[in-house]
Structure 1
Amino acid sequence: MADQSVHMKQFEEAKTLHNNGVDGDKKAVIKANEMFLKLREAEPVNALIEAYYGSTLVLLGRDAVKILERADKAQEGLDSLNQAISMDPNHKEIRLLRGNICLRLPESFFHCSETAIEDFTFLLDHYKENSNYLTPKQVREVLRNLSAAYQNAGKPDKANSFLQLLDQLELKKKS
């Protein structure tokens, strides 16, 4: 039981470092990756740890200088995120992580806009079943990201339909 609380504390610390890394702190990315690697070794069947580990790999790729290292780290991170989804396909946070990463990777190289669409659609479908599943801010973010993913996938009509949904949501919010 003590191990579990230690791991939880380390997870929260690593997650904070990860989020700082998303915001551009390269040293935080390195530290978060090291921490998630250790947590992953301690809890190899924890899908959320696997997902954040994968995300840190993608961030290491983002920060790498050499082109090949960028691509290799990003692919390795995507593989970990896909593994996390296969471990726990219904986990909201993992779907948000993978969807956001797939949206931001260059479509011409990684071809993962369809994966982003899958993740954001999954989230919206669950929200339609349970309006407490996502916060209003998350709903707007998912709609915006879904539109961008469809745009990246070369489906501008679908992209526009989600922008229109977002506009309708914004109008409701103001009235």
Structure 2
Amino acid sequence: MATGKNDWEKDFAKAITLHKKGINGDKQAAQKAYESLKNIKLQVNNHPLVEAYFGSSSALIARDHADINEKSNYGKRGIKALDQAVKLDGDNVEIRLLRGNVAYRLPEIYFKRTKTAIEDFNYLIRAFENNNRDITKDQYHEILLKLGKAYQTVGDSKRAEETWNKLLSLNNSKYKKLVADAKKNGGE
């Protein structure tokens, strides 16, 4: 860990790299990202991106933890940090992507965060459609797929169908089977 006053930014870049590995299933990288971000949070107070990545890394720890109580504690800690990040900078696409994806993946039965995912995904869709270049076309397609699934999870089949039809109208053959599977599996 770097010790200089502004060296937290270097540590933060490394933590983001570890976080990405954690998303892809590397449990050790997820743990290292979490520990690094926890230390960075002590150096910089209420930095929106630090809060967001800390929240997301907490959710990764929750995903990987064997103990159900610890899963819940890390999950709640992650939600709190992600909500704080959006409160600090609600127009930041990266923050909304992180919170939306975490909220989407948390079990609805325990955390009741699918409506948050819907809110964030709708924000991101509007941003893309208003020519925000921070969102790629591939991300846009993925967000539409997940938004349809999220609507299905909360029982809004009409909006799920509308969202998936919008995705299918983009003529990306990759999503025909994914949408069909989501419909068959009730959004799962």
TM-score (norm 2): 0.85
AA matched with 2:24: D
Per the TM alignment, residue 95 of structure 1 is displaced from its structure 2 partner at its CA by 0.3
- Out of 80-89 and 37-46, give the one that drifted further: 37-46
Return the structure number with greater helix share.
Answer: 1
In structure 1, the residue matched to 2:27 is: 26
Alpha-carbon distance in 1 for matches of 2:169, 2:41: 42
In structure 1, the residue matched to 2:94 is: 93
AA matched with 2:37: F
**Unpaired stretches in structure 1, ≥5 consecutive residues:** none
1:2-81 matches, cutoff 5 A: 3-4=5-6, 6-81=7-82
* Superposed CA offset, 1:87-144 (max 9, x none): 1111100100010011111111111110000001011112222253421111101111
SS of equivalent residue, structure 1 residue 8: helix
Runs of 4+ in 1 over 3 A off after TM superposition: none
SS of equivalent residue, structure 2 residue 169: helix
Per the TM alignment, residue 24 of structure 1 is displaced from its structure 2 partner at its CA by 1.1
In structure 2, the residue matched to 1:164 is: 165
Alpha-carbon distance in 1 for matches of 2:57, 2:133: 29
Alpha-carbon distance in 2 for matches of 1:115, 1:95: 10
In structure 2, the residue matched to 1:140 is: 141
TM-score (norm 1): 0.91
Per the TM alignment, residue 167 of structure 1 is displaced from its structure 2 partner at its CA by 0.7
Alpha-carbon distance in 2 for matches of 1:31, 1:132: 31
Question: Pairwise CA RMSD of aligned residues?
Answer: 1.6
Per the TM alignment, residue 8 of structure 1 is displaced from its structure 2 partner at its CA by 2.3
**Unpaired stretches in structure 2, ≥5 consecutive residues:** 174-188
In structure 1, the residue matched to 2:116 is: 115
Per the TM alignment, residue 49 of structure 1 is displaced from its structure 2 partner at its CA by 0.5
Percent identity for Structure 1 against Structure 2: 37
Alpha-carbon distance in 1 for matches of 2:172, 2:73: 43
* Superposed CA offset, 1:40-92 (max 9, x none): 11111210000100111111111111111111110111011001110111110
Alpha-carbon distance in 1 for matches of 2:132, 2:51: 28
Alpha-carbon distance in 2 for matches of 1:40, 1:131: 29
